[in-house]
Structure 1
Amino acid sequence: MYTYLKALHIIFVVTWFAGMFYMPRLFIYATEAGDRPGNERDILRGQFAIMMRRLWYGITWPSAILTLILGTWVMVNGKWDRLLFDTAGQWLLLKLIFVVFLYVYHFTLHHIFRQEMNGIYKYSSNQLRLWNEGATVFLFAIVMLVVVKESMSLVYGLGGIVLLIVALFAAIKIYKNIREKGGQ
């Protein structure tokens, strides 16, 4: 039973991340649709709103809830909770801290989602591109912690995350420069 729970937990983590990767893209598309003429803008934003609602309420939120339920169940059934404050379980404690921040990130996406559903496009497409990389950073941090566990040095792990963030921001900056030069 434990392995089935673990497999389901991983499946819902993947679908949750899929939603968190795609949702900011839809925010970007809806924001950029604001540059289109009136009728075209309204049609595009209407279609993006439908896509956002279906993704957010049909996949992302259910996956976030099932990830939490199944993850807790896996932790208790696997007796991982006994390791949390032990030296051997420091990786798990750090992972759970990242998971808490991941849920905070999820709620920030929900906040932006609600704004856009109300016709409020507060952020530029470039700001949303930067925000889009939050899920990537969490994915790297959490997967690394789970896979390499205590063999990973905290200093090297944090250094790797900082390098990842720098690389992602540099890629976004390069992409922005290419778009501006190409007139797109």
Structure 2
Amino acid sequence: MNLYDFARALHILAVIAWMAGLLFLPRLYAYDAEQADKAEPLRSEMRELLRTWQRRLLKIILNPAMAAAWVFGLWLFWLRSGGGTDWSFAHQPWMLAKIAGIFALSGWHDYLSGEFRRIQAGTSARTGRFWRMTNEVPFLIAIVMVLSVTLEWGTR
């Protein structure tokens, strides 16, 4: 096993954890938004439980997994460049698609974090329907990223 393969394995594991959180958190938000139609006291108890899960998912899984995915991804980028000597791959369409996907997923993560704060403050205007409709956004982005990297689209 070489260093590149080791870095790639760690990156894949971090991305799996990050994606799991990005796919699950909107579902928790949908359940939270749907509690408005429920009767007390179950509504308050369920909301408290959902918000505990949301906080834990963000703080214990999502944030560390995103940080690890970035760190290992940047390490891979460095290793792929031969230690900073050949950056030609960085301009290939497949790598540009991956970079765009990284920023899209990071932006979605930031949006979800902001929405968590709005939910906690009681100022979120999003419905359960909205969260169900947007729940698969990270997976669609991941499809493009994985296909572009594994097939190296646009390589000459």
* Structure-2 separation of matches of 1:27 and 1:56: 12
Could you tell me how far 1:122 is from its partner in structure 2?
Answer: 1.1
Q: CA deviation at 1:115?
A: 0.9
Q: Highest relative contact order (Cα 8 Å, sep 6+), 1 or 2?
A: 2
Find the partner of 2:151 among 141, 148, 153.
148
1:77-120: CA deviations, max 9, x gaps?
122743112xxx22111211121111111111111111112223
Alpha-carbon contact 2:105-2:138 (below 8 Å) kept: yes
1:37 aligns with 2:39: yes
Distance 2:94 2:154 in 1: 9
Q: Tell me what 2:137 maps to.
A: 134
Structure 2 SS opposite 1:126: helix
- Which residue in the other structure is 2:98 paired with? 95
Regions of 4+ moved over 6 Å: none
> 2:125 — aligned with what?
122
| 1:182 paired residue number | none
Greater helix fraction, Structure 1 or Structure 2: 1
In structure 2, the partner of 1:82 is 88
Deviates more, 1:14-23 or 1:97-106: 97-106
Match of 2:13 in 1: 11
When the two structures are superposed, what TM-score results if normalisation uses the length of structure 1? Answer: 0.76
* Pairwise CA RMSD: 1.6
Identity of aligned residues (%): 26
Structure 1 unaligned blocks of 5 or more: 153-184
Alignment TM-score, normalising by the size of structure 2:
0.89
Q: How many residue pairs get matched?
A: 149
Q: 1:151 Cα deviation (Å)?
A: 6.0
After the TM superposition, which of the residue ranges 112-121 and 76-85 deviates more from structure 2? 76-85
The 10-residue stretch of structure 1 (30-39 or 51-60) with the greater mean CA deviation from structure 2: 30-39
Taking the aligned partners of 1:110 and 1:36, their CA distance within structure 2 comes to 25
Unmatched runs of 5 consecutive residues or more in structure 2: none
Shift of the 149–104 alpha-carbon distance from structure 1 to 2, 3 Å rule, reads same
Structure 1 CA distance for aligned equivalents of residues 135 and 58 of structure 2: 15
Deviations 1:110-159 (A, max 9, x none): 1111111222331111111112121121111111111111269xxxxxxx
For residues 49 and 81 of structure 1, the distance between their equivalents in structure 2, rounded to whole angstroms, comes to 44
